[in-house]
Structure 1
């Protein structure tokens, strides 16, 4: 039985503890007017109720003017506090209302005047109950409503000849105000929680997209690196047969190089097995290259997008580094897919050319505004990662990427892919 008092005290302490920090009501509203509205209403009710309550309590109810002023201050000033601390404001006003009812009970009361709650007190208490409902938990609202009902019932039982049933009006209308205010508060909390969750989900989605695109690029570059490692293995294995008079030490060195290359290929295949998933089995096909751009452009034209292709490059693409060749193709592919999805029917120009200094490759994809803004997308496929994949490919090669809308409503994708990275000297 010794556990009951601490539990009761804890429950009482929880009821008396505000639900959150003393932020103003409607502080999360987007419009400035709504954020200032609680202050305006609080001052409006204070200006109206303070002089009215003082005059009515003094003249109509026969209360001493000084006492009437003190009671009216206790009932109305908390309206200003209710903007930030509605629970404290309601508690102070409730005590002032009870004190006012007791003072009126001690003296003569005109029989035609409502008691224990005069009309001004009912209006002020309803405003405070609404503010309380917009901030506090349900159990706190139930406790405030019960205290209001119990206080009215007690006064009714003490002096039934004086009671006019006004306490029932306060209990009924106050309960409605609490229900409406609680519903509005819970709806606002749900909307804010949903907005926060959407923000978190969007950040997680962007991070997951970035990781997926990096894994996809790593899978594609595996073929490029594996090709070079295979060449090293073949050259190291065949060197003793191609070079006459090779010393034994050199033969052993070539054998070690070949063994290390084969071991590296094995480890890379294991790494690729980790990067692949059940959904990426289709990516085991040979990787595309710039030589297949005409077929890509032809497929895009069949999808309803007029494309003009310009390639001012050497006749053969063999001199291009494989990573640059693959990345350039993927950038053009993703840019054309975006045009099909977001600007159907827009005239598009694709240009692939070498730098004037021959140190890199320039890729430019420019499309005009869509012919009709309400035309539905012609294609819903693609990687779905768009500019993220372009940015990652360019960053991997140490190049630059410039994307953005054009004044006429079109879009521009410009990438420069250097043939050598900063970590790879061009003289190597």
Structure 2
């Protein structure tokens, strides 16, 4: 990949959510550059007696790269490091008072520490160690040519740069760890939701398989016994029943093989009809025996087994949520086929409603809201598969409401 295809480097804190935080590195770099540039020229010429042209060149080389440090701090360090060492050697050519600091005047130390801060927030640990070793090596090397009667301040620069690099690097690594943790939590939550959805789909498939297999068994038995139950059955009709029975047995065998794939290790047992509307009453009675005040309005309407099964599972999960998150809360369960909807052009609909009030005692965990509970994921998947609608959410008084609308006609399933 060529350099033209490489992505441009990002500025420091470019990923921050607030604009003022993203602009902060540019602002600090601009202030340092504007403040240090004229100060360096003034100090080097007036105090140290360095030539104005040389002082100006050194000031630009030591201050201007601070703006580059926001985007490419390592390149900026290379320029400033060379300029600082060159400035120290240039000061050896002039006579200045012993009270003045050498080899690094104060404004150079300020600029270098700011550069180390930017470098520590961007570069890796190995790079930071090499930068500090280079700084220490330069300071030790310049210590051998210190002017007579003057002490070197290289140790100050080594200590300040080392502490700055260490703290900035620690902050960068901590931020990276938090970012990776947040990404992993997001991925884990997405995987949990996906796994829950797949598990619920497999469960729905197993239950629908049991329903279909039950009916196929009945078809097989009826077709096989037609010749014995019906008097004077024509040969053509008897042959047709025999063909139906054979086809049903073949389909039932395929269904059993499919069942072996869908069932997990714990899901043993005979093929049997799945629970429907008639079993919701037993479910409510079990919840009442567990100490939950539940009011139940049953429905005796004839509904498709897939709809009855979905209604039963929705009520089951809703009551389980009430027991877990709102213990002691008064609950109302209603299953009905509204008359106003049973005669509409869109077909008949079964309405399942589970509403609970606030808990008798505030639970340790808050009520689940829409989209956070894995049980709600299963409800939505069941309703979606049969073409219904689901409305869940908290109530103003602290309760919770689950309302499902399930189609009763096969046309509505499509």
Give the TM-score, by structure 1 length: 0.85
User: Of the candidates 350, 359, 363, which is equivalent to residue 361 of structure 1?
Assistant: 350
In structure 1, C-alpha distance between the alignment counterparts of 2:366 and 2:276, rounded to whole Å: 27
| Separation (CA, whole Å) in 2 of partners of 1:411 and 1:111 | 80
In 2, the alpha carbon distance for the partners of 1:303 and 1:130 equals 62
Q: Which of 68, 74, 77 is the aligned partner of 2:64?
A: 77
Equivalent residue for 1:399?
Answer: 388
Check whether the contact 1:344–1:377 (CA below 8 A) recurs between aligned residues: no
Q: Deviations over 1:91-121 (max 9, x none)?
A: 2211221221232223333333222211111
* Equivalent residue runs for 1:111-130 within 5 Å: 111-130=98-117
1:157 deviates by 2.4
1:210 corresponds to 2:193 = no
Partner of 2:230: 243
| SS of residue in 1 equivalent to 2:296 | strand
Answer with 84-93 or 239-248: which moved more.
239-248
In structure 2, which of residues 216, 221, 228 is the aligned counterpart of residue 234 of structure 1?
A: 221
Match of 1:349 in 2: 332
Contact 1:46 1:77 (8 Å CA) reproduced: yes
Instruction: Report what 2:142 is aligned to.
Output: 155
- Counterpart-to-counterpart distance in 1, 2:412 and 2:304: 15
Q: Is the 8 A contact 1:115 1:162 kept in 2?
A: no
2:311 pairs with one of 303, 323, 328: 328
- Listed one character per residue, the Cα deviations across residues 352-376 of structure 1 (whole Å, up to 9, x for unaligned) are 1113243231111112233433456
Q: Is the 8 A contact 2:48 2:94 kept in 1?
A: no
Contact preservation (8 Å) 1:340, 1:377: no
The structural deviation recorded for 1:74 is 1.6
Partner of 2:14: 27
Would the aligned equivalents of 1:401 and 1:415 in 2 still touch at CA under 8 Å?
Answer: yes
**What are the ranges of 5 or more consecutive residues in structure 1 without an aligned counterpart?**
1-19, 379-383
- In structure 1, how many angstroms separate the alpha carbons of the residues matched to 2:71 and 2:290? 60
* Residue 302 of structure 1: how far off its partner (Å): 3.6
The residue that corresponds to 2:26 in the other structure is 39
User: Which residue in the other structure is 2:4 paired with?
Assistant: none
- Give the 3 Å change call, closer, same or farther, for CA 144–162 of structure 1 in structure 2: farther
What SS is found at the alignment partner of 2:44? helix
Q: 3-state DSSP class of the match of 1:363?
A: strand
Shift of 1:150: 2.0
- Deviation string 1:358-398 (CA, Å, 9 cap, x unpaired) is 323111111223343345699xxxxx731111112112222
CA distance in 1, matches of 2:147, 2:242: 111
- Aligned position for 1:17: none
Equivalence for 2:323: 340
- Provide the residue aligned with 2:256 in structure 1: 269
Counterparts of 1:25 and 1:424, CA distance in 2: 55
Q: Is the 8 A contact 2:326 2:363 kept in 1?
A: no
Q: Determine helix, strand or coil for the equivalent of 1:291.
A: helix
TM superposition shift of 1:347: 2.0
Q: 1:284 to 1:21 in 2, by over 3 A?
A: farther
Per mean C-alpha deviation after superposition, the further-off stretch among 406-415 and 29-38 is 29-38
Aligned partner of residue 280 in structure 1, secondary structure? coil
The size of the alignment, in residue pairs, is: 397
Please give the secondary structure, in 2, of the residue aligned with 1:414: strand
| Structure 2 residues without counterparts, runs of 5 or longer | 1-6, 343-347, 368-372
- Whether the aligned pair in 2 keeps the contact of 1:155 and 1:163 (CA below 8 Å) is no
Query: CA offsets, 1:59-81, max 9 Å, x none?
Result: 11101223222211221222222
Task: Report the counterpart of residue 292 of structure 1 in structure 2.
Answer: 279
- What is the RMSD of the two structures over their aligned residues, measured on CA atoms? 2.6
Correspondences of 1:96-135 after superposition (within 5 Å): 96-135=83-122
Instruction: Please point out which of 383, 390, 405 is paired with 1:416.
Output: 405
What's the TM-score, normalizing by structure 2? 0.88
Offset of residue 283 of structure 1: 9.8
